Structure 1
Amino acid sequence: MAYANGDFIPNAADYIPRWQAKAAAFVARQMGGGRAQMDLPYGRTERSLFDLMLPEGTPKGLVVFVHGGYWLRFDKSVWTHLAAGPVLNGWAVALPSYDLCPDVRIGEIGRQVAQAISVAAEHVAGPIALTGHSAGGHLVARMMAAAILPVAVAGRVTSCVPISPVADLAPLMHTSMNADLRIDDAEARRESPVHLEDRLPADVTVWVGAAERPVFLDQARWLAEAWDSGLHIAEGRHHFDVIDALEDPASALCWTLLGLT
């Protein structure tokens, strides 16, 4: 129960259809302006696709948003509206899907995300800013390992903002989810961002809602302490609405991600 979010958020069931509707409306606006490229392949599996949302004019750089869902659910289509803030600031945004557990292990998902970033980087020049939510926060933090991205791509990464990340996988070994996640001691050590030692020199700020479950506040603090990075605790925000600020081009979250603060 410690990692169950919906049970502790009022009207939690309303969020997914609301996100889906907002995402669909944003995609329609982008397509109407000729600024959406959908279902671009980055790998060989059916889910190895990403959408690319483009700003007006030449992009200032590339944001990659990686979705959450405990590596078990969702795809890119639920979250496209979160590209709005960066797009309005002149950045392109790539949103990848990836294969899910139990069909693959978490380590394989990390490799897919690295490949998605690498292919998206071929479409957009300039700096790269990484962000993701929950399991997606874990995955973008994992991208800070010095050896996971190609050298040319890694050298372009200027910022990383893991939002409500799962930074240490070990506690999940004791949850019912592990029947599908299949995390063992070796994978928990290898894939947990808190254990990364050789990291990219990008600016990192860990972002979490003040009203989140205690374990997510713990996970955020563990990562910030392990990396000696920034930690922002967003007042009044819980696990589902902490990401809303990505829609706002003037929000502190958006500016931090884009290096505007």
Structure 2
Amino acid sequence: MSAEMDRAYANGDFIEGAADYPPRWQAAAAEFRDELGARARLGARYGDGERHWFDLFLPEAPPRGVMVFIHGGYWLKFGPRDWSHLAAGAVARGWACAMPAYTLAPAARISQMTREVAAATAAAAKEVAGPIVVTGHSAGGHLSARMACADAPLPGDVAARIAHVVPISPLADLRPLMETAMNDDLKLDAAEARAESPALLERRKGCDVSVWVGGQERPSFLWQARLLSEEWDCPWHVAPGLHHFNVIDDLARPGSALTELLIGGL
């Protein structure tokens, strides 16, 4: 383990008031679910595991497509209901939004999480017709990028419907994380780190990808985002002034540049 690498990937230590963010997210998420009422379909199943479920948020009219948002937390913590409110931007623009849970470490390895997110995406695709957009934040950014990989464990018809993948502050090369204390729970080895690193894998042909990252993020996250954009020859956008905890806020706003990037023109 490396203290230097732990520091490189410590986000909250460099964000003022970091401890206040999770309760704010949870309160906003609960309020959004309450406001949506029957249009919040909670706990749809995609498998038999304890965390094999997703919430589906629906617009008032038949949806134009479905956005899949994959939560972060270094594959170790949190769940989709901490961020329900981030569906608001897409829902206001006539899209459904699916937010899957997945088994966290140490109960699951990252390769299993990839398979679970693919299964959840396929299940959401059965619920909503039309194009699919996949996004996610941090560890969820990694898992969203995995859905754009040529080897993603998706049914062919579902993969063909994915019109855009937008990893937000993604972890694209997992090899540095093998040197962090969190790897005691992640249990990454060299083979899995390589096999699960989007930047080391081939992007699926025809899958449109854009990378998004905050300008005030840790240098390691700026490097990860830039690396993915270079390896996949896809655009990346650095959102000025935003850090790792507020870079996702614009998903809740229908007119934001991030929401427009995700679903504009689809």
TM-score (norm 2): 0.96
Which letter maps to 1:62? V
User: Please, which runs of 5 or more residues in structure 2 have no aligned partner?
Assistant: 1-6
**Deviation readout 1:122-165 (Å, 9 max, x if unpaired):** 00000000000000000010011234210010010000100000
TM-score (norm 1): 0.98
- Determine helix, strand or coil for the equivalent of 1:146: coil
CA-CA distance at 1:196 after TM superposition = 1.4
Alignment of 1:92-111 (within 5 A): 92-111=96-115
| Counterpart residue number, 1:23 | 29
2:179 to 174, 180, 198: 174
Percent identical: 58
CA-CA distance at 1:201 after TM superposition = 1.5
| Counterpart residue number, 1:252 | 257
Counterpart check, 1:151 vs 2:156: yes
Alpha-carbon distance between aligned partners in 2 of 1:36 and 1:69, rounded to the nearest angstrom: 23
Counterpart check, 1:89 vs 2:110: no
For the Cα contact (< 8 Å) 1:154–1:200, is it kept in 2? no
Alpha-carbon distance between aligned partners in 2 of 1:13 and 1:29, rounded to the nearest angstrom: 26
Counterpart check, 1:35 vs 2:39: yes
Alignment of 1:4-153 (within 5 A): 4-31=10-37, 34-147=38-151, 148-153=153-158
User: Please, which runs of 5 or more residues in structure 1 have no aligned partner?
Assistant: none
- Determine helix, strand or coil for the equivalent of 2:8: coil
CA-CA distance at 1:198 after TM superposition = 4.8
For the Cα contact (< 8 Å) 2:148–2:209, is it kept in 1? no
Alpha-carbon distance between aligned partners in 2 of 1:259 and 1:159, rounded to the nearest angstrom: 10
CA-CA distance at 1:260 after TM superposition = 3.3
Alpha-carbon distance between aligned partners in 1 of 2:120 and 2:100, rounded to the nearest angstrom: 7
Alignment of 1:232-251 (within 5 A): 232-251=237-256
CA gap 1:260/1:251 in 2 versus in 1, 3 angstroms = farther
Per mean C-alpha deviation after superposition, the further-off stretch among 176-185 and 146-155 is 146-155
- Determine helix, strand or coil for the equivalent of 1:119: helix
CA-CA distance at 1:200 after TM superposition = 4.0
Alpha-carbon distance between aligned partners in 2 of 1:201 and 1:142, rounded to the nearest angstrom: 15
For the Cα contact (< 8 Å) 1:52–1:94, is it kept in 2? yes
Alpha-carbon distance between aligned partners in 2 of 1:138 and 1:192, rounded to the nearest angstrom: 8
For the Cα contact (< 8 Å) 1:68–1:132, is it kept in 2? yes
- Determine helix, strand or coil for the equivalent of 1:203: coil
For the Cα contact (< 8 Å) 1:26–1:80, is it kept in 2? yes
Measured on the aligned residues, the alpha-carbon RMSD in Å equals: 1.0
Alpha-carbon distance between aligned partners in 1 of 2:47 and 2:205, rounded to the nearest angstrom: 24
Q: Following superposition, which runs of at least 4 residues in structure 1 exceed 4 angstroms of deviation?
A: none
Alpha-carbon distance between aligned partners in 2 of 1:198 and 1:29, rounded to the nearest angstrom: 38
| Counterpart residue number, 2:210 | 205
**Deviation readout 1:105-130 (Å, 9 max, x if unpaired):** 00000000000000010000000000
Counterpart check, 1:223 vs 2:228: yes
- Determine helix, strand or coil for the equivalent of 2:51: coil
Alpha-carbon distance between aligned partners in 2 of 1:13 and 1:260, rounded to the nearest angstrom: 37
For the Cα contact (< 8 Å) 1:167–1:219, is it kept in 2? yes
- Determine helix, strand or coil for the equivalent of 2:210: strand
- Determine helix, strand or coil for the equivalent of 2:119: helix
CA-CA distance at 1:203 after TM superposition = 1.6
